């Protein structure tokens, strides 16, 4: 039944994508920006000042700031309901304050987190991955998404209020369990002493370091990341971050491998930032984000290939994918996130106390960019890998029944 015609796309696309990825040119990394000595001194002075304040007598928040602290807590809680509300909040903030570029990166990465979560209940993965692994992986994605938002969103709201009043309010950061590291960076930024890449680079470091301690290094998730099933999903490139633009064949992004390595995650964030804010892509991706509200379904960006509506599978599994599209009348099931996942993470959200190695963060304070081959090709190659494993598994199950 499985003819050479059926296998043609997989026997050509998969090897070609592997060869393309192996070309050394695409893996050369260049440094776009580095921390200067002046910036380093400014930051170190701020961190010392914050440490002296933290070691001193605690001063109660003034009454006129109590209301602000409570309002920020309330607004953060309201927007931290689920991946959909978080993702929308990042975009709304960026639209109001486009100078805070990290917020748009956070929106696009959070969109992809939602797609990953929906994939776990989609066309293929429930038939490939163990059910307990699917639940645990969802919990990790949801918890990480929530932890980052709970840490980052109060920072954004403090900036918004500081911008409105013209007075720095970042001394209130400790009320939201924010790291002294990023508080110091905000102070330097707000005084207009630095408007380079310092702030977004620091935000990438801060959020990845935060989840490193609060999530990745916990016993439960160490076991998950070491599991054979996790290695399988990495091999299948299930964690590719895609920034859709039109035409879709020109979409950009990166593969998210080696999640358990902090340095790699920080470099990935830097590469994603460099890719996203290329002038030839930014306007198109921003237009996409504002045109299509995030639902968690991949039909947000490709309704020709995906559908959010479930239909029972054929008795005998059939290939749905062609080269860079689905076969005629065939669509891949990609559900709306809130239709398939009901439970979300609402805490506890621990204090971001990761900042204990100043030398390390100074070393990581740079912006890098690594060229990569066609993201769209890698994306479709990943889909073909998933479908191949799915088909083999389904046929095996049918043979077992006979």
DSSP notation for 321-359 = B-SSSBPTT--EE---HHHH-----------------HH
Domain assignment of residue 258, given as a range: 4-401
The structural domain count of the chain equals 1
Q: What is the 3-state secondary structure (H, E, C) of 127-150?
A: HHCCHHHHHHHHHHHHHHHHHHHH
319: tokens are 């290939």
Q: What is the largest CA-CA distance in the chain?
A: 77
Backbone angles phi, psi at 346, to 5 degrees: -125, 25
Question: CB under 8 Å to 212, separation ≥6 — which residues?
Answer: 262, 265, 354
pTM to 2 decimal places = 0.92
What pLDDT is attached to residue 370? Answer: 81
What pLDDT is attached to residue 233? Answer: 66
Closest Cα partner for 39 from 369, 370, 368, 367? 367
Q: Which residue has the tokens 């440490």?
A: 51
Closest Cα partner for 129 from 140, 120, 142? 120
What pLDDT is attached to residue 29? Answer: 81
CB-CB contact of 40 with 362 (8 Å): yes
Residue ranges, the chain, pLDDT below 70 = 1-27, 56-63, 193-194, 231, 233-239, 257-258, 372-374, 396, 402
What pLDDT is attached to residue 277? Answer: 95
What pLDDT is attached to residue 3? Answer: 43
Give the distance from CA 336 to its chain's centroid. Answer: 18
3-state class (DSSP) for residue 368: strand
CB-CB contact of 35 with 365 (8 Å): yes
Question: CB under 8 Å to 324, separation ≥6 — which residues?
Answer: 249, 376, 377, 380
Secondary structure E strands in 63-138: none
């Amino acid at each position: 039944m499985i003819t050479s015609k059926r296998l043609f796309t997989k026997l050509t696309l998969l090897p070609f994508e592997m060869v393309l990825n192996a070309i050394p040119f695409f893996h050369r990394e260049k440094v776009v920006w580095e921390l200067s000595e002046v910036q380093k001194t400014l930051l170190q002075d701020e961190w010392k000042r914050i440490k002296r304040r933290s070691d001193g007598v605690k001063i109660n928040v003034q009454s006129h700031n109590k209301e602000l602290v409570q309002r920020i807590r309330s607004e953060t809680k309201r927007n931290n309901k689920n991946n959909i509300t978080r993702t929308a909040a990042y975009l709304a903030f960026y639209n109001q304050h486009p100078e805070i570029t990290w917020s748009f990166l956070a929106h696009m990465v959070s969109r992809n987190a939602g797609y990953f979560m929906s994939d776990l209940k989609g066309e293929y993965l429930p038939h490939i991955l163990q059910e307990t692994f699917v639940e645990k992986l969802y919990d990790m994605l949801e918890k990480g998404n929530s932890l980052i938002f709970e840490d980052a969103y109060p920072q954004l709201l403090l900036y918004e209020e500081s911008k409105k009043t013209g007075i720095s309010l970042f001394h209130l950061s400790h009320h939201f369990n924010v790291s002294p590291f990023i508080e110091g960076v905000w102070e330097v930024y707000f005084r207009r002493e630095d408007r380079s890449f310092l702030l977004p680079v620091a935000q990438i470091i801060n959020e990845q370091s935060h989840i490193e301690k609060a999530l990745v290094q916990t016993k439960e998730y160490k076991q998950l990341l070491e599991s054979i099933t996790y290695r399988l999903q990495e091999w299948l490139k299930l964690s590719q971050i895609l920034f859709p633009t039109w035409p879709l064949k020109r979409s950009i992004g990166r593969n998210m491998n080696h999640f358990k390595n902090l340095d790699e995650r920080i470099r990935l964030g830097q590469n994603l930032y460099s890719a996203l804010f290329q002038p030839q892509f930014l306007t198109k991706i921003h237009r996409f984000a504002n045109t299509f509200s995030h639902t968690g379904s991949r039909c947000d960006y490709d309704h020709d290939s995906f559908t959010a509506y479930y239909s029972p599978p054929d008795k005998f599994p059939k290939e749905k994918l062609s080269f860079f599209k689905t076969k005629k009348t065939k669509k891949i099931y990609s559900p709306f996130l809130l239709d398939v996942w009901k439970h979300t993470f609402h805490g506890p959200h621990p204090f971001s106390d990761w900042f204990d190695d100043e030398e390390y963060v100074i070393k990581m304070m740079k912006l890098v960019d690594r060229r990569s081959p066609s993201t769209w090709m890698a994306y479709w190659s990943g889909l073909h890998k998933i479908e191949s494993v799915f088909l083999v598994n389904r046929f095996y199950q049918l043979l077992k029944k006979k």
